[in-house]
Chain A
Amino acid sequence: DTAVSQTPKYLVTQMGNDKSIKCEQNLGHDTMYWYKQDSKKFLKIMFSYNNKELIINETVPNRFSPKSPDKAHLNLHINSLELGDSAVYFCASSRDGTGNYYGYTFGSGTRLTVV
């Protein structure tokens, strides 16, 4: 049973397209996150939702829009894709948003390549 699952695992698309990445967790966690890992492996928080409510919205282009239909799902929609959006996007979840004791559980990542 996969705890945090992301789809698709790989996504290759052309500049200007709109794409979505889906994330689901079956851990009963309250808080979900999107992180971006760039080509240098640096991980940066993008968004966080707690019980379907947006908590963190870092300086991310407004072409990126998270959507949380319920607390088990957090999807990421990207409009007008640019070359610089190429990265690995990780979804994560935590029990109560604090990460205490158990840290965060990460999905296996979605490698987005914009050509």
Chain B
Amino acid sequence: GEDVEQSLFLSVREGDSSVINCTYTDSSSTYLYWYKQEPGAGLQLLTYIFSNMDMKQDQRLTVLLNKKDKHLSLRIADTQTGDSAIYFCAESRGQAGTALIFGKGTTLSVSS
């Protein structure tokens, strides 16, 4: 199937860590991405990980990849109210002309 699965909602308090989880479908996917969508806006690429990596850290963002279980997670440290948005996981087969397959998105709500 083509479904990339994510939990739909996550609510955290400001200053806490947020962990958004994703299960993707194709073990041959070469790149996995996290996109952020703020209300009324387009999609902003946050980070990506190549399939031969287990972890990638970029400032407050940590991406973990478990290729065996086809599980991807995004951890946001010291979550701020400005992090409130929808976060999409996406997979790419890495072949020319293929499209990104998106999960349904996780709405992150940060309360102060």
Interface residues of chain A, those whose CB is within 8 Å of chain B, are 31, 33, 40-45, 48, 50, 55-56, 90, 92, 96-109
Interface residues of chain B, those whose CB is within 8 Å of chain A, are 30-31, 33, 35, 37, 41-45, 48, 86, 88, 90, 92, 94-102, 104-105
| Cα A92 to Cα B95 with chains together (Å) | 16
> Which residue of chain B has its CB nearest to the CB of A96?
B96
Query: Which residues of B have CB within 8 Å of A50?
Result: 96-97
> Which residue of chain A has its CB nearest to the CB of B43?
A106
With A99-B92, A109-B42 as contacts: A41 and B86 at CB distance below 8 Å: yes
Extra A-B contacts (12), CB below 8 Å, given A41-B86, A100-B92: A42-B104, A56-B98, A56-B99, A96-B96, A97-B96, A99-B33, A100-B94, A103-B33, A103-B35, A103-B48, A104-B45, A106-B44
With A45-B100, A48-B99 as contacts: A100 and B42 at CB distance below 8 Å: no
With A48-B97, A55-B97, A56-B97 as contacts: A103 and B45 at CB distance below 8 Å: yes
Q: Please state if A33 and B99 are interface contacts (CB–CB under 8 Å).
A: yes
| Cα A40 to Cα B88 with chains together (Å) | 13
**Least distance between B1 CB and chain A CB atoms (Å):** 14
> Which residue of chain B has its CB nearest to the CB of A48?
B99
